[in-house]
């Protein structure tokens, strides 16, 4: 019987392409001042979005607290939440 040859592991050598052959990216094509302006605008929009989300969250929290305070003064709500076994409070 003949032995089968085991395949040898392939050694991949990374092909070193010069940077000049790589396609130009948008970052490379834009000047640094335009890139800086775009980054500043992006940061400003992110900050504005964060403020808006925080305001919505704060408004929802205030509404929840106002509703809770209103329900604490509502006798029907308190009666529904109370323990129906009043004998143990005698």
State pLDDT tens for residues 31-79: 888 888 989 999 999 999 999 999 999 999 999 999 999 988 888 888 8
pLDDT band at 7 (very low <50, low <70, confident <90, very high): low
State pLDDT tens for residues 28-42: 777 888 888 989 999
Pair of tokens at residue 17: 């392409």
pLDDT band at 14 (very low <50, low <70, confident <90, very high): low
CA-based torsion, 27, 31, 32, 35: positive or negative: negative
The pLDDT, as a whole number, for residue 33 is 85
Pair of tokens at residue 4: 């089968």
Q: What's the CA gap between 14 and 80, in Å, rounded? A: 73
Q: What's the CA gap between 67 and 77, in Å, rounded? A: 12
The pLDDT, as a whole number, for residue 51 is 98
Residues 6+ apart with CB under 8 A from 27: 35
The pLDDT, as a whole number, for residue 29 is 77
């Amino acid at each position: 019987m003949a032995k089968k040859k085991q395949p040898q592991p392939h050694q991949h050598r990374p092909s070193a392409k010069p940077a000049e052959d790589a396609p130009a990216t948008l970052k490379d094509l834009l000047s640094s001042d335009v890139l800086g302006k775009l980054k500043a605008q992006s940061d400003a929009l992110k900050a504005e979005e964060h403020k808006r989300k925080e305001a919505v969250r704060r408004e929802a929290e205030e509404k929840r607290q106002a509703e809770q305070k209103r329900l604490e003064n509502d006798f029907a709500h308190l009666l529904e939440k109370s323990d129906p076994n009043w004998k143990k409070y005698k």
